[in-house]
Structure 1
Amino acid sequence: MLSYDELTSPERELWDAFPEGRCVDLRAGVVAEDRVGGGGRWGAGRTVRAVVIGALLLGANGGRPGAVAALRLAGARISGRLDLAGAQVAYPLWLEDCWFEEGVDLSGASTQSVAIVGSRVPGVEAGLTRVEGRLDLRRSLLEAGSASPLHRRITALSLINAQVSGAVNLGGSRIVAPGEWAVSAGGLVAEGGVYCGDGFVADGEVRFMGAQLPGGLHMRGARLAGPGPRGVVLALDNAVATVLDCSGGFAADGTVRLRGARISDRLTFEGAVLNGPPGGDGPSLVASLTQAVDFDLTLARPPSGAVDLRGAQVSYLHDNEHSWPDLVELDGFVYGAVREEVAGERREAVGGRDAVARRVAWVRRGPCYSPQPYEQLASWYRKAGHDDDARRILLAKQRHRRRTLRPAARVWGCLLDVTVGYGYRPWLAGVWLLALTLLGTLAFGTGSPTAVKRGEGAPFQPLVYTLDLLIPIGGLGQRTAWYWTDDGLQWLAYLLIAFGWLLTTAVVAGVTRTLQKN
């Protein structure tokens, strides 16, 4: 138990100020002397033992009637480890511009608002902590010390399964754990959201796996400068949030992974830079099975690694010329509408040959053939009233599929493509019929056939004879009434019969395929 006589001068000042919630400011008022980076050189006049802070927070000098007790301290060197693990803290804590010799342990504690602002701390352990208020670590430098007792990884800030009734504010802070976990907040519940803007920098993986963030995760302008052990800089697997804002200059030098995340409103990377892991060994964005209403991927420049959207579902997709890398995985990706940014202006994606060609090229950036991305794109164009564009996309799907078939099937596919466009261009059959009819009429008009039975049947008509050869069903009476002694014309007749059967078979197969798909 601490006695008042044992306290140093700054500790007595803090002790006396605590019951009334007054702030003790030990700063010298000189910028060069007050820089937190040099806090290790601060002498006894600016040093407060962590055990004194802990004792006050646990009620060593209770409040006075008519005043609200709180611990408020600025510009201090805090010696020893501030250990409040499992404690019931009834008073708010506010520390500004302080230099900690050792880390802060709040694991399993129940506390009021905690603010460690503009300070240097060798790690904060707050796993399973309940904070009735806010957790404010703005402008602080948090450096990984030793491995957390709750997991084997070295972590600079641990918020595993913590519950914060207010917001978690990391704005302007720098969290350093190179190659490890800078922030480990799996299962975190932050009612007021998490704020990592205003120049936030993390060297190491930032993890919010399974977190529940009704107030959203706001990382506008943040820099995730170094990946964790698996090349990931931000992990939100199965997290639930209203908003994920990674816009306004957000930069990630590793994989951003949102696998299975559910964003009930806006998921935005507007103006972001997704560099992917160093060396290009890994994807830039993994958002497989992610759900969001508004998904904005209008990046500042193309991602260096792949974008994985397999099984994702969004209502609105926003993209621009920088959104897509060379490899995009879209199998199972479902979207309600597409809006593109052109010359800084947002608009509904339009149809037309050029626009469809760009979208087909987008779909073909997948690693292998998959029908679903084509069908999804065609469905969207059809809903938008662009039926011709939808047919172009489905035709492109069949052409892509043909590359995966065996040689015989490829030949048949080429025939379907040339004759009827796989059923999506039935007018091609009419073009072929007209061309072959013209060819036969001109060729047969130069010769004189021999009647099968002299004096019987209709007179020879080159046009009708050609149509009779091309139409395999029924008959016009010309094909059976005349034959050729000229070998060239007789072979032409055989070829026209064969072309007629092939053309009819292709038309039936193509139209049947189209009717079955639609």
Structure 2
Amino acid sequence: MLSYDELTQPERELWDAFPEGRLVDLRTGVSEADGPAAGAQWGSERSVRAAVVAALLLGANAERSGVVAALRLAGARITGRLDLSGAEICHTFWFEDCWLEEAVSLYGAATRTIGIANSWVPGIDAGLARIDGALDLRRSTLAGGSLTLINARVAGELILTDARISGPGEWAVLAGGLVMEGGVFGKRLTTQGGLRLPGAHLPKGLFLQGARLENADGVALAAGHVAASTVDCSQGFTAQGTVRLRSARIEDLLTFEGAHLNGDGTALVCIAMHVGDFDFRAATPPSGTVDLRSAHATWCQDSERAWPEEVLLEGFTYGSIRFGETASTEGGAAGEDGTPVGDTMPAGDEVASRLAWIRRNPGYAPQPYEQLAGWYRQIGHDGDARRVLLAKQRHRRRTLHPAGRIWGHLLDATVGYGYRPWLAGVWLIALALLGTLVFGAHSPTPVKPGEGAPFQSFVYTLDLLIPIGGLGQRTAWYWTDSGSQWLAYVLIAAGWVLTTAVVAGVTRTLNRN
């Protein structure tokens, strides 16, 4: 048990100030000398033992009536290990511009608001802690040790604004199972190591605007199965490593507006994620794959140039999708359906841009096309929906065997897979004109001389093109010259092909609608 006589002068000041909650300020007023990075050189006139701090927080100095006891210390060097594991702490404590010699342990503790602001500390372990207030680490540096909040519960806010955390291993922040009642604020947070939040409950949101999370060979942000109202990774947010949001449930907004996602191989994983508003307008295309398989967004806003070369879209559904901006470039390669690929999109052609986006999904997958077509139907753009479904059939055609590809090309050229039935009419008109001109320049031979209607080249051509029924001309005349006879055979074959293609295309359209 510490006695008052054993205390140094700074410790006595703190001891006397504690019952009234007064601030003990050991700073010199010279900014260069007061920076906590230089705290290892501070002398005894600015040193306080961790044991004294612990003794006060555990009730060593009796409280006075009419005032609220609190420990408030600024500009101090705290020597020894501040170990409050399992403690019941009824007082707020606040360190500012302090240098702590060893890591702080709050494992399993129950405490009120904790503030370690603009300070230097080797690490903080608050696993299983119950903090009935806020945990404020703004502008502090955790050097060589992680911030651990595994299965902790915080009634107020977790404030990491402008903090710097460099963990000893892969993770700088370990907060799996964290339960927050307030928000997590990490604006301009910088970490050497990942931020790990699997299964965390963040009803007031996670705010990482301008943060920089560095774990280049691993995961920068692990928030799988997190439940949050908002996840804000905008305003220059940078992830040097993969961002994982697998099976996350985000009620309101998930935004990467102005973000930089630099994961190696896979930049963003959102498998089975459910989100209200999904804003993917990154500042630059991610360096790796974006995985949206089986994810759902009520509303999605993106940018044409925000997507990487590979986007996994199978099972991705959305209630609404819009471009937040429209880019315009000229030239570029075109796909099989004539629409540009990659980032070379014509200005104002949203459908072409969306089709290029779908083609970033490796291989052929029908669901992304069906989802996009369903969205266009929902907003009344049936023509755009048909265009998407036609592009789907053209993409599918590449996966078929040679006979299937030949039939597919035929369906495409004649009726556009049923999504352009007017093409059959164009072919019929062209062939009818050809037959009328050729047959009109020659004289056929009647099958039965002196019987039947006189020869009419136009009616005769229609009779050849229409495979069902008859107009009486085809069976009444025949040709002696081989050229006209072969044209007749070609028109008969074309009539069957066009009829079959029209029936197949219309059947496909009716089945889809």
Checking the alignment, whether the CA contact within 8 Å between 1:118 and 1:138 is kept in structure 2 is yes
Structure 1 counterpart of 2:151, from 149, 154, 161: 161
Is structure 2 residue 485 aligned with structure 1 residue 490? yes
Instruction: Give the whole-Å Cα distance in 2 for the aligned partners of 1:27 and 1:117.
Output: 14
Alignment partner, residue 409 of structure 1: 404
Q: Quick check: 2:161–2:189 contact (8 Å CA) kept in 1?
A: yes
Q: Deviations over 1:432-482 (max 9, x none)?
A: 111111111111112222222222222211111111111111111111111
Which SS does the other structure have where 1:265 is aligned? Answer: strand
CA distance in 2, matches of 1:331, 1:144: 42
SS of alignment partner, residue 284 of structure 1: strand
CA distance in 2, matches of 1:62, 1:416: 91
Which whole-Å deviations, capped at 9, do the CAs of 1:377-400 have from their partners, x for residues lacking one?
Answer: 111112222111111111001101
Q: Following the alignment from structure 1 to structure 2, what is the Cα–Cα distance between the partners of residues 29 and 171?
A: 24
Distance 1:160 1:394 in 2: 49
Give the corresponding residue for 2:164. 174
1:235 aligns with 2:235: no
> Per-residue deviation at 1:71?
1.0
1:65-214 → structure 2 map (5 Å cutoff): 65-145=65-145, 156-177=146-167, 180-197=170-187, 199-214=188-203
Question: Residue 212 of structure 2: which of 203, 223, 227 is its match?
Answer: 223
Q: What TM-score results when the alignment is normalised by the length of structure 1?
A: 0.93
Query: In 2, Cα distance between the equivalents of 1:140 and 1:160?
Result: 20
Residue deviations 1:294-331, cap 9 Å, x none?
11112222222221111121122112233111111111
Name the CA distance, whole Å, in 1 between partners of 2:257 and 2:184. Answer: 19
- 1:213-362 → structure 2 map (5 Å cutoff): 213-227=202-216, 231-274=218-261, 276-277=262-263, 281-342=264-325, 354-362=349-357
Counterpart contact for 2:170–2:215, Cα < 8 Å: no
RMSD: 1.6
8 Å CA contact 1:179, 1:205 repeated in 2: no
Judge conservation of contact 1:306–1:328 (CA < 8 Å) in 2.
yes
Classify the secondary structure of the residue corresponding to 1:420: helix
Residues in 2 aligned to 1:179 and 1:457: alpha-carbon distance in whole angstroms: 97
Contact (CA 8 Å) 2:358, 2:369: kept in 1 or not?
Answer: yes
Runs of 4+ in 1 over 4 A off after TM superposition: none
SS of corresponding position for 1:133: coil
* TM-score (normalised: structure 2): 0.94
Q: How does 1:339-488 map to 2 (within 5 A)?
A: 339-342=322-325, 354-488=349-483
Give how far 1:45 is off.
1.4
- Provide the rounded CA distance (Å) in 2 between the counterparts of 1:144 and 1:486: 96
Distance 1:75 1:343 in 2: 53
Give me the whole-angstrom Cα distance separating, in 1, the residues matched to 2:348 and 2:29.
Answer: 68
After superposition, the Cα gap between the structure-2 partners of 1:179 and 1:4, relative to the gap in structure 1 and judged at 3 Å, is closer
Aligned to 1:42: 42
Report the AA paired with residue 85 of structure 2.
Answer: A
Residue 390 of structure 1: SS of its match in structure 2?
helix
Other structure's SS at 2:112 match: strand
SS at match of 1:263: strand
In structure 1, the residue corresponding to 2:85 is in which secondary structure? coil
2:4 is the alignment partner of 1:4: yes
1:352 Cα deviation after fit: 9.9
Count of aligned pairs between the two proteins: 495
Shift in CA distance, 179/366, structure 1 to aligned 2, threshold 3 Å = farther
Distance in 2 (CA, whole Å) between partners of 1:452 and 1:425 is 40
* Residue of structure 2 in register with 1:148 after alignment: none
C-alpha distance in 1, partners of 2:443/2:403? Answer: 39
Distance 1:254 1:425, change over 3 A: same
Partner residue, 1:510: 505
Aligned counterparts of 1:468 and 1:18: Cα–Cα separation in 2: 107
Amino acid at match of 2:313: L
| Higher mean displacement: 302-311 or 369-378 | 302-311
Choose 182-191 or 440-449, whichever is displaced more. 440-449
Structure 2: 5+ residue stretches without partners:
328-345
Distance in 2 of aligned mates of 1:421 and 1:4: 93
Moved more, 313-322 or 125-134: 313-322
- Give the aligned residue type for 1:290: M
The 8 Å contact of residues 125 and 147 in structure 2, kept in 1 or not, is answered as yes
Deviations for 1:480-515, whole angstroms, at most 9, x for unmatched residues?
A: 111111112111111111111111111111111111
Q: Any gaps of 5 or more consecutive residues in structure 1?
A: 146-155, 345-350
1:144–1:182 contact (8 Å) kept in structure 2 = no
